[in-house]
Amino acid sequence: MTIKAFQLYFHCRDDPTEKRISHSHWGVSSWINKRLKEISPALKGPEVKGINVANVLFCEAGTSRIPLGSWQRLLNGLEYSVEYDTPALELHSARQNLPGLLLIAADAARKAPYPQLRAISELLSKPLTAADLDDIQHEIDARRQN
């Protein structure tokens, strides 16, 4: 199997806040998934048999449905939960928030017992260029129009 998607999710106690943050930040997952194509050979292997998606969950304290700080296998995916002050994401634009969030996600992937996720970590650890931020903003804007 091959990991085809690496996504960021946001959990808050307040549903309207969670929906706003998810809506404003979700485009980064589309951008990441396009970048995964660059390293697709590194995302295959027996270690990820039956797995095609990996998710990093940014959870307000007390909202994680899985143990914090470790990768969990769920159906056809892997999930990693990190405690984060998600409501504070509304204080800045997604464009401002995402470089830091991607570094946290890269660190989570680096800690995974799967070489495929460590390859994703290397990809996400690269500093974002202005062109990357423009591409991410394009994905965010496209998501808002749908």
Q: Which of 122, 114, 136, 127 is nearest to 3 (CA)?
A: 114
Burial class (CB in 10 A: 0-12, 13-18, 19+), 34: exposed
Burial class (CB in 10 A: 0-12, 13-18, 19+), 49: exposed
Q: Whole-model pTM?
A: 0.93
Is there a contact between 47 and 69 (Cβ–Cβ < 8 Å)? no
pLDDT of amino acid 144:
67
> How many Å apart are CA 29 and CA 35, to the nearest integer?
10
Mean pLDDT estimate for the chain: 94
- Domain limits, the chain: 5-145
CA 25, 26, 30, 35 torsion: positive or negative? positive
pLDDT of amino acid 46:
93
Q: What pLDDT digit, counting tens, does each position of 47-78 carry? A: 999 999 999 999 999 999 999 999 999 989 99
